[in-house]
Amino acid sequence: MDIRAVVKVRILGEEYTLRTEASPEHTKAVAEHVDRTIRAILSGSSTMETQKAAILAALQVTDELFREHVAMESLTNDMKQLAADIRPLLPPAKRGEEPGAA
């Protein structure tokens, strides 16, 4: 079963009809972010072509994504280390060990 929403969004005044598994709210928020990013790039130059601004926006949004992935990996590693540090302080039953099996 294909559960896809059809969502209309507007980017730089152009309307796009998207089929997506994401919620309409999420899809609209993503499109608004893209629209804001392109507009911010275009506002910095009076002669930039829209296509070039879209490519620069894609690079900027991808950079944001990559930075978030790195931050998430770092946070995950910190949480794993914290769990490893705390585990010996827990009672054996909470560690998943049998009593006396240390």
CA angle 6, 64, 23 (to 5 degrees): 20
Predicted local distance difference test score (pLDDT) of residue 1: 52
Per-residue pLDDT of 38-52, as tens digits, reads 999 999 988 999 999
User: What is the pLDDT averaged over residues 51-72?
Assistant: 98
pLDDT greater than 80 at residue 102 = no
What φ, ψ does residue 59 adopt, rounded to 5°?
A: -65, -40
Burial class, 18, CB count within 10 angstroms (exposed 0-12 / middle 13-18 / buried 19+): middle
Global confidence as pTM? 0.74
- Can you give the residue ranges of every domain in the chain? 5-90
Q: Which residue has the higher pLDDT, 97 or 82?
A: 82
Predicted local distance difference test score (pLDDT) of residue 86: 94
pLDDT greater than 60 at residue 100 = no
* Helix, coil or strand: residue 5: strand
